Structures are given as C-alpha cells and as structure tokens.
Amino acid sequence: MDSLSPVIGQRLTLPARASSYHHYDHRPLLSGTICRRKFGIRVQATEPKVVASSSSSSAATAAAANRSIDFSDPEWKSKYQKDFEARFNIPHLTDVFPDAVSYPSTFCLKMRTPVNEDFAGGYPSDEEWHGYINNNDRVLLKVIRYSSPTSAGAECIDPGCSWVEQWVHRAGPREKIYFKPEDVKAAIVTCGGLCPGLNDVIRQIVITLEIYGVKKIVGIPFGYRGFSDQDLGEMPLSRKVVQNIHLSGGSLLGVSRGGPTVSEIVDSMEERGINMLFVLGGNGTHAGANAIHEECRRRRLKVAVVGVPKTIDNDIMLMDKTFGFDTAVEEAQRAINSAYIEAHSAYRGIGVVKLMGRSSGFIAMQASLASGQIDICLIPEVPFNVHGPHGILRHLKYVLDSKGSAVVCVAEGAGQNHLEKTNATDASGNIVLGDIGVLIQQEIKKYFKGIEAPADVKYIDPTYMIRACRANASDGILCTVLGQNAVHGAFAGYSGITVGICNTHYVYFPIPEVISQPRTVDPNSRMWHRCLTSTGQPDFL
C-alpha cells in the first residue's frame, strides 16, 4: 500500500539514450535535481517537465502530456517513437563500465550440474538451450487501437488518435551474464506495509539465485532501516530456509517505513559486499531503489538494483496488475458477503464495507464487480455528494424502499473532501487520511434518524485481515514469475529496473517511468462502466 508522495508526483525525466543495446549515452541520468525525503531516504527527482507520454489513465491527461509534440511535423510519429524508446531503454552496467566482461549464463535448465569453480573454463554449457531471451525482444505496451478520443477509456497521443507502436523490454534469462555467481552477495529487502505474496517473491528470488550458483544470499530485516540499525543483523537465506515460507502471509524479513539516507544505505552495502539488491515495495520504495541505483552509479560500483512492485492497491503505472491485488479482491468478498448477510437479515439493513485504496479504487471496483452484492461503490477517482437530492443518502433511501436492504463499498481514499484535512503524515510521507468509512456510517444513521425512518447500519473494515493473508493461486504464480525475472534481470547486468506484467507478458521497465504518478481508475473506462452497470448507482453529484 505504498503510495506516491508529492516528492515524485511529477514525471521523472531521463536524457535520451541511444536505442541500440549496449550503446548508451554515459551522461548522468538526472540533471537539475531537487532533493526530498521518502521513506527516510533522500530521493532525487528532476524539475517538472512536460513530456510526451501515452501512459496516462485518461485521454485528457494524455493530451495534456503531449502538448510539447508538434503534430504539424510530418515526422512527429517517428520522433515520438524514438523518444519513447529512449525513455524506456533500461539502464545497464555497461553504461558505467563499457568494458564489463560477460560470461556464458549459468542458468541452463538442460544442464543441472551444480555450478562450481571446478568447471574447466568457468561456465560450460554442455548442450545448446533455446530458453534464453534475446536482448532485442520487445513487448507491445498498448494493444487497443482507439479510433476516437471519445471512445471509452481512450488513451490518445494526438487529436486524431493515431496508432503509434510502443515497445518495452521483454523479461527473462539472457545467454550472457555480467556477474560470476561465486562473487555475488545478494540481498533482499521488503519495505512499506504488508501485502499477500511477499514470502512467495522472497522464496523464488532465493531459489533462482541458487540455480545460478549464488551461495551468499541475505535478507535485510525490517525494510531500509535494516541497513543502519545495529541491532538488526542480516538473515542468511537458502532454499532450506525459504522452502515453506509461501504457506503463510506476511514477510519473513519484516517490513517497516522510514529508514536511513541513500548515502548511508550504499555505505552499508559497500561494507557488507552486497552487489545485488532486490527491493520489494511500492512507488515510494521504488523511488528509494532508484536513488540507491543512482548513488551506486555515481560511486562507480558494480551493483545491480532491481525492484519488484508490491502494492495491494494495484496502483503502479503501466502494469496489468501487481501481486497481492487478486488476493485482496478475493478476501474482500468475505467482508462484502458478511455485510450483505447482516443487511439482508435485518429490517431495512445497510452494510458498509471499507476497503483499501488511498488514491486508486481498483480493489473496491473489482471487489464490487466480483460480489454482485454492492449497491453503491465509492472510489477516490469519482467525486460524490453525501447529502442533497443527488447524494448517496437519498439513493440509499430509494434502495431500502425498493429492495429492503443495501450494501455500500467505499475505498479508504474516497470522499476525503468531506473530511477535515490535517497536515499529519506517516513515516512514508503519506498524508494521514480521514476515516471515510466511519463518516459514511455516521451520516447514514443521522440521515435516517432525521427522517424518522428505520435503518440498521453495520460497518466492516477488513483492511489488516486482507493485508496479512496468504497469497492465492493467481498471485502465487505472479509472485513466482516476478521473483525469477528479477534475478534474470540482475544477472543480465540491468540495474534501476523493475519487473512487471504487461499485456500478459513479463517485462522490464526503468523505475522512473513506473513511479512518475500513481495508476488510477479511469472514470471513462469500460471497467468502471461495468461496475456502474452492476451496482445500478447514479452519479452522486
């Protein structure tokens, strides 16, 4: 549930790099930087700049982002594609070390002899294996060709909604690796809040590292603070240690918010000899990971920093979904069903369920769709009135009068304009939200008491029960593949990247592109329209 802080609320822009593999511009990645703190880490972000992008969640946002494009230029489409390719080209060790030596991969599923120094020539491959990913393999980012900006959910680059191909790097094992397994000390850290699937990802990272031949694997306890707290020692990890951890929720390594500065983290990594770091977390955690990657580059350290996006809210840009989301939607069904039973069993009963979603209403929307028992779904992206002729209270009265009971599902970040604002922030720098669920519950009671109509209101908040549960089968598969591909990316020499699923394929993204802003529900999307069809709710404005 890490959320984007105002620190990185503007798009992080990178200078253009050459598009061909292993021919990178060696200029510093960040210029004109400003420094802030995120998770206790000094995070650098570029000054705000309007850039061309089609990653927005609505046509209006996309149009605003593309104002810098001269559409009268007949070459604008090819220029846009080149700019996109430059922005999404992923950092590689050869950016800093042009003469870095590569080795034949030790990851070959046809040659299962344990890797050790006794091999003549280092890393033989007894037989050819066609299981590697070519460095030039790409995955199409957008697959719908919208014909008009008025199409539901349209994301258009130009007013005519031209089709422009946008390709991103395919994830997977490469034939050449840039680390000798016996020289690797890999570390794993989990930051932010709990999320179903954390143990699944940890387990798979460890197993895949061992298949490559890595012997030194450690866990950093309790997030980034584990790098500086002298009372928190490293946790040695091996397949034996992690074999069954996916059978329970939580994180074997523990989680926390806050931590030391980037410089202190990198100092600790140097002292410990860590040259692979796997960071599991959301937007804020990834901002920290990118800052660590930049600091390692500045110090010319041969270190691979790879992120695995963890947010139960599903609010990471460009990805189909993040791990833990499917489990959250499934577990939310229990709370919704309980609220329905309570409401349906009472005389003029109303059940109110509050689900997670600080700035994105994906859990509330999908859970409402899945249950088929919700009469009103409230999300942060769609404003609403509580009172008045078109408010939710008037509609609740109509629902009660017509069917005898009602169920309301509300995301935690919805309707914050109806609550008193505070300047309080948590350890991650997130603004402390008001409790919209309690407000809705209280206003419902006041309203029906005021009109002297009976209403039996029950309120359920399953937040921490959902966060702490074990990943379901769908998330278990996602976590497994994300963990494997994170290791493949690190051994391939990539750093400052995160792994995700895009159009059902696994890809690598440069971290700045996925933390530029939170992914949100588009009120003009077909999925939100489907939710409205299911609930039958009107506009509450």
Binding-site positions for ATP = 193, 257-258, 282-285
Averaged pLDDT, 266-283: 96
Q: Across 282-423, where does the E strand assignment appear? A: 304-309, 349-355, 376-378, 406-411
Q: Classify each residue of 429-445 as buried b or exposed e, where b means 16 or more C-beta atoms within 10 Å of its C-beta.
A: bbbebbebbebbbebbe
Which of the following is catalytic: 313, 326, 375, 475? 313
What gap in Å lies between CA 434 and CA 199, rounded to an integer?
31
Whether the predicted pLDDT of 289 surpasses 50? yes
> Region 15-37: what's the mean pLDDT?
33
Binding-site annotation, residues: 193, 257-258, 282-285, 311-313, 356-358, 412, 464-467
Q: 45 pLDDT exceeds 70? A: no
> How much is the pLDDT for 425?
76
Q: Within a 13 Å sphere around the CA of 134, how many CA atoms are in the beta-carbon half?
A: 5
Q: Which amino acid is at 135?
A: N
The model carries a pTM of: 0.85
pLDDT value of residue 51? 31
pLDDT of residue 301: 97
Predicted confidence at residue 15, as pLDDT, reads 34
Instruction: Flag whether pLDDT at 351 surpasses 50.
Output: yes
Q: What is the pLDDT of residue 111?
A: 60
Q: How confident is the model over 321-342, as pLDDT tens digits?
A: 999 999 999 999 999 999 999 9
Report CA torsion sign: 145, 151, 154, 156: positive
Mean pLDDT of 196-205: 97
Report, as an integer, the average pLDDT of 204-217: 96
- The band of 117, judged by pLDDT with boundaries at 50, 70 and 90, is low
| Residue 162 burial (C-beta neighbours within 10 Å; 0-12, 13-18, 19+) | middle
Side-chain half-sphere CA neighbours of 143 within 13 A: 9
Per-residue pLDDT at 23 exceeds 70: no
Please state, in angstroms and rounded to a whole number, the distance separating the CA atoms of residues 174 and 484: 12
DSSP designation for 225 = G
Q: How deeply is 36 buried, as exposed, middle or buried, from its count of CB atoms within 10 A (0-12, 13-18, 19+)?
A: middle
pLDDT computed for residue 384 by the predictor: 97
Residue 344 has pLDDT above 90, yes or no: yes
**What is the enclosing helix (H) or strand (E) of 508?**
strand 505-510
pLDDT at residue 443 is higher than 60: yes
Find the Cα–Cα–Cα–Cα dihedral 249, 252, 257, 261, rounded to 10°.
-150
Binding residue numbers for substrate: 311-313, 356-358, 412, 464-467
The model's confidence at residue 53, banded by pLDDT at 50, 70 and 90, is very low
Please, where are the H alpha helices in 139-219? 198-212
The question of whether 313 is a catalytic residue gets the answer yes
